[in-house]
Structure 1
């Protein structure tokens, strides 16, 4: 029995549920935080979405069938929560998701938790211009170094489609970064 299947069994048992949930949070919060942060960009928003993710995991652990890895299931929840958060935020602001992404990148420099330099900002600008799926795939592959098979479980998409999305994302990012270099010279 794997460590995750033991943890799931403990989460389903009312007697061990609280302790098992604390263990689950300790085990996965950092990985999930950085995954969410890559989507929503802001530290405060990432914390809020992470909290919502763990609430959903806690409430829905009985629906986890074990057909995928536990962290894949949680990543899927985290991804959906982050994307829903962005859609709600864009709707509240009365703009498009693309406009929101540009706004988030602009606010990144003011974020006290952002420790990237100009190169990181330029990369985030390029990412903000990508379609949602390409942005997700790029973040998961480039920043989190996830294998395509793992991404396939999380995003419920074929490996071939993910490879194509990543390739297109890389080409668009390269084009954006090269255009930025040409503007400065």
Structure 2
């Protein structure tokens, strides 16, 4: 794939890519932008090469996930003094176009999903927000299909339990 084709694919998938990067950065839009820039730089410089073993979208999301993990490692190491890296504060998630009830419901779901394991959060985001199949999500996450299915089913089961418990507490 030549550079112009790469740029066209990246441009087409940019909104979805930013959503995935933001998920990988736990909602921090500034970190997501940095991670996405890093991923694009790897791709356009040839350090990350699409070998057509999966769909372009699956491969791209894998590059973004790896870039987010590298970014997280740098930040952790920076906090303990190995690197001097200034952490950015997460930005507030706001959605002024929704009414109060929808905003409260969304906040409740986000809070309950945040209590799931990181892998369970990733699989739910990839399947429900990025419209990937479980098989494609497995490729992005770098796990086997069986492992991805297990994370997916456990995530749904755990989220269902948390929703029921949260509803009872209201």
Q: Deviations over 1:28-49 (max 9, x none)?
A: 2111111112222122222221
Gap change, CA 1:113 and 1:36, over 3 Å in 2? farther
Instruction: Determine if contact 2:135/2:148 at 8 Å carries over to the other structure.
Output: no
Aligned length: 157
Q: Deviations over 1:109-145 (max 9, x none)?
A: x334686712221222122222221111111112222
Query: Comparing both chains, which one has the higher relative contact order based on Cα–Cα distances under 8 Å and sequence gaps of 6 or more?
Result: 2
Q: Give, in whole Å, the separation in 2 of the partners of 1:87 and 1:115.
A: 35
Structure 2 residue 10 is matched with structure 1 residue 25: yes
Q: Give, in whole Å, the separation in 1 of the partners of 2:40 and 2:70.
A: 15
TM value normalised by structure 2: 0.76
Instruction: Determine if contact 2:58/2:136 at 8 Å carries over to the other structure.
Output: yes
**Larger helix fraction of residues:** 1
Q: Give, in whole Å, the separation in 2 of the partners of 1:170 and 1:179.
A: 14
Instruction: Determine if contact 2:48/2:63 at 8 Å carries over to the other structure.
Output: no
Counterpart in the other structure of 1:4 = none
Instruction: Determine if contact 1:36/1:49 at 8 Å carries over to the other structure.
Output: yes
TM value normalised by structure 1: 0.71
Instruction: Determine if contact 2:43/2:49 at 8 Å carries over to the other structure.
Output: no
Structure 2 residue 93 is matched with structure 1 residue 111: yes
Correspondences of 1:166-177 after superposition (within 5 Å): 166-177=152-163
Q: Which of 23, 38, 42 is matched with 1:52 structurally?
A: 38
Runs of at least 5 residues in structure 2 that lack an aligned partner in the other structure: 81-88
Runs of at least 5 residues in structure 1 that lack an aligned partner in the other structure: 1-7, 12-18, 95-103
Deviation at 1:75, TM superposition (A): 0.9
